[in-house]
Amino acid sequence: MPKLTLQFHGTRGGVPVCDLNYLEFGGNTTCISMYNHERERIGILDAGTGIRALGKHLCKNYPDQRDIFITFTHFHWDHIQGFPFFEPAYDSEMEIHILTLGVKRKFTGLHDIFAAQMQEVYFPVALDNMGCKFNFLEYNDITALFQGGTISSIPQNHPGGSFGYRLETEDFRLVICTDVEHGDEIDEEFIEFCKGADLLIHDAQFTSEELQNRRGWGHSSYDQALEIAERAEVSQLIMTHHDPDHDDAFLRTAEKNCQDRFKDCALAREGMKIEM
């Protein structure tokens, strides 16, 4: 039996897309779930629009789950805009822990971040009236979810800041680095952070040509993600945070080109599961 099942519920960056040409890779914005089989605990990374369907799935299939951890890489709209539609948050018996694991608590005032987007002018239900019990945490520990493992974070170059995460246990090494912009050369510290990962999930929003005109947007190219996977000697690479202008045909071509260079790689698709 796998120790951890990871699933993509949103793979898009920037803004959700609804179009017949976006069905294969999906149109929802960033959301990843992680199910710890040993502890029977559910963790979520980011709350883009993909968290809406995930919430319905949890209510139907995990009715006895009474607490959920949601960890954030950062708080841009495409990573929090699904939160008001997360069904478990309306359950009075549910406890939801919201946290960021960034170094030196760069992100503070978590309650206010989520309350702001749910003011009456934006949304009919206020954060404090959703129903569940919220715990807003800002610390560098998540042992309640991954006992026996270690989690480390790395600050990333992104407007407003973001963090990449590394989860390491006796059985596997998982690194997730989305919403990160590299310079002309990949920093050696970043390579070391990803070193030897069994699975690296990395931002790859642009082609190298597109990136030239999008400096400062806070994202990476396919070539940069591949370079990191090669230099860090990772076993598998999944690229995500797809640009809203890239339809299924575009992404299929990009994926094939990437696989010609690095065999064990793929572009994330909504619903994709990876067992570790």
Nearest to 151 by CA among 164, 162, 138: 164
Q: What residues in the chain have per-residue pLDDT under 50?
A: 141-145
Are 30 and 11 in contact by the 8 Å Cβ rule? The answer is yes
- Residue 102 has a pLDDT of 66
Q: Strand, coil or helix: what is 75?
A: coil
DSSP annotation string for 213-231 = T-TTS---BHHHHHHHHHH
- Residue 251 has a pLDDT of 98
Burial of 2 by CB count in 10 Å (0-12 exposed, 13-18 middle, 19+ buried)? Answer: middle
**Considering the entire predicted model, what is its pTM?**
0.94
- Residue 270 has a pLDDT of 98
Beta-sheet strand order (sheet of 162-168): 150-156, 162-168, 173-177, 199-203, 237-240, 265-267
- Residue 36 has a pLDDT of 86
pLDDT in tens, 110-168: 899 899 999 999 999 999 999 999 998 765 544 444 555 788 889 999 999 999 999 99
- Residue 39 has a pLDDT of 75
Percent of the chain having pLDDT more than 90?
81
- Residue 148 has a pLDDT of 59
- Residue 96 has a pLDDT of 95
- Residue 139 has a pLDDT of 58
Using CA atoms, how far residue 38 sits from 18, 101, 152, 198, in Å, is 37, 22, 21, 19
Domains and CATH numbers, the chain: 4-275 (3.60.15.10)
Percent of the chain having pLDDT more than 70?
93
- Residue 108 has a pLDDT of 57
- Residue 2 has a pLDDT of 79
- Residue 150 has a pLDDT of 83
